[in-house]
Amino acid sequence: MPEDEFGRFVAEASEIVEEIVEEVFEDILDEFRSTRNLTEDEQEQVAFVPTASEALYSFMGWLTSRDQPLMVGARIDCVPVVGLVKEFCRVNKIPDPRDDVKWGTLLKHPEAPLKR
């Protein structure tokens, strides 16, 4: 995956993750609130819905705290990265990208510096 494509992927993922997280967590919150009588403290904890940037920073924090190194770049196979994204989403109950949304074109990507 070329470096600029990876940058686009990361930028696109931010907006998509934010939308997905809002949808998923709102459903979870509604279900949780309807099945229990919560104290104020519990309601505050449950009411927290991470933003897309919080999810991305959390993902990167997880990557950078792993013992196993991960290489990322335009000339590196992206399969291991995709696997880690899927694992992070699975653990955090974040659904796969929607098929009916052209999420690959919705987000902007920083320009990657050209390697000389």
Q: Does residue 58 form part of some domain?
A: yes
Q: Does residue 13 form part of some domain?
A: yes
pLDDT level of residue 84 (50, 70, 90 thresholds): very high
Q: Which residue has the higher pLDDT, 30 or 8?
A: 8
Q: Does residue 74 form part of some domain?
A: yes
Q: Does residue 107 form part of some domain?
A: no
For 74, the domain range is 3-94
Compute how many other C-beta atoms are within 10 angstroms of the C-beta atom of residue 20: 22
Q: Does residue 112 form part of some domain?
A: no
Total number of domains in the chain: 1
pLDDT in tens, 88-103: 988 887 878 888 777 7
Q: Does residue 20 form part of some domain?
A: yes
DSSP tag of 20: H
Q: Does residue 115 form part of some domain?
A: no
Phi, psi of 76 (to 5 degrees): -110, 140
Task: Compute CA distances 83 → 6, 24, 41, 59, 87, whole Å.
Answer: 14, 21, 36, 13, 6
pLDDT level of residue 51 (50, 70, 90 thresholds): confident
Q: Does residue 101 form part of some domain?
A: no
